[in-house]
Amino acid sequence: MNRIDDIFARGRALFLAPMAGFSDCAFRALCKEEGADALVSEFVMANAVLEAPDSSRFWRTLDFDEAQRPFGAQLFGADPLLLAAAARRLADKVRPDFIDLNCGCPAPRIVDQCAGSALLKDLPRTAAILRAVVRAVPELPVTLKMRSGWDAGHIVAPELARIAQAEGAAMITLHARTREQGYGGDADWGLIGRVAASVKIPVVGNGLVRGVSAVQLLRSSGAAGLMVGRAALGRPWLFRALKAELAGEPPPAEPEAAKRLATMLRYAETLLGQGEDLPGIRARLKPFTEGIAGARQLRARMDAVASLGGLRELVGSVSLAP
């Protein structure tokens, strides 16, 4: 049984998505505590992996502890040889459980490098990347995260899934929106179902539909797992709720404001203890305030806080009465 099989050994699996600027080690740890089955790092550029000295802060992006396994390191780039070499260095230095290749990021700065979603327009290059990376790290599973296509007129997910399987990918994650959609509109879970039925390797679904539960989407599609991204920001306990629903149990109640803010403080303490600064982490803290009375004012006041002590004082001043 390989490491990807292990993830699905107990049934449908829940993944934390790689999110640039958010999927740091501390947040991954919170999600793991709350029931996430597998975690994936923020993406890292192949060139940076090859050029960063061993002592560089760059490697903090890929930090994880043993409790976070199974853990995947996500790479992006456009050159098969560079990606293969980067995967080899990651395997030797970081020792993840799998290498994930990004074929879906819609950000212009990534697409302009012919990487991320741009690879959806060049399937031969994507095939060459998969082939090179699979050969470079034979001891590790290689997985692929992709979107459905560049735009509605160019849906390539079924073809790319077959290519990925043929080139040795161990798993596919399909964010069923096009690059043109960005993060707007509903994901096409019918497409996820068709792709899952067309290949033998596990297909994990990503992207939600308004008014439909994530578990309902997962079951109706036949996908092997669910990757949760923005919905988990400020809500790591979402994984616990999804686990309960999958087990046919009533989901636990949403945590009260006191727990939400206490978790935010613990998260902030961890990040600051790792050498980050408060201005640099505010965007990661603010989602924990969603749903709390006076959240907008609280977030505005957070912008003026300059220290952990100030943040603690601010949280202590918040009225938690319903």
Catalytic residues: 105
Please name the residues in contact with 242: beta carbons below 8 A apart, sequence gap of 6 or more: 14, 35, 214, 215, 226, 228, 251
DSSP count for the chain of H helices, then E strands: 14, 9
Task: Specify whether the CB–CB gap between 3 and 141 falls below 8 A.
Answer: yes
Structure tokens at 234: 């400020």
Please name the residues in contact with 157: beta carbons below 8 A apart, sequence gap of 6 or more: 146, 147, 148, 149, 174, 176, 191, 195
User: Distance between CA atoms of 11 and 307, rounded to whole angstroms?
Assistant: 44
Give the total residue count for the chain.
Answer: 322
User: Distance between CA atoms of 19 and 108, rounded to whole angstroms?
Assistant: 16
Residue 203: in which H helix or E strand, if any?
A: strand 203-206
Cis bond upstream, residue 70 (ω within 30): yes
User: Distance between CA atoms of 104 and 125, rounded to whole angstroms?
Assistant: 14
Give the three-class secondary structure for 227. Answer: strand
Residue 217: in which H helix or E strand, if any?
A: helix 214-221
Task: Specify whether the CB–CB gap between 232 and 214 falls below 8 A.
Answer: no
User: Distance between CA atoms of 139 and 135, rounded to whole angstroms?
Assistant: 9
- β-pair partners for 98: 72
Residue 155 DSSP code: B
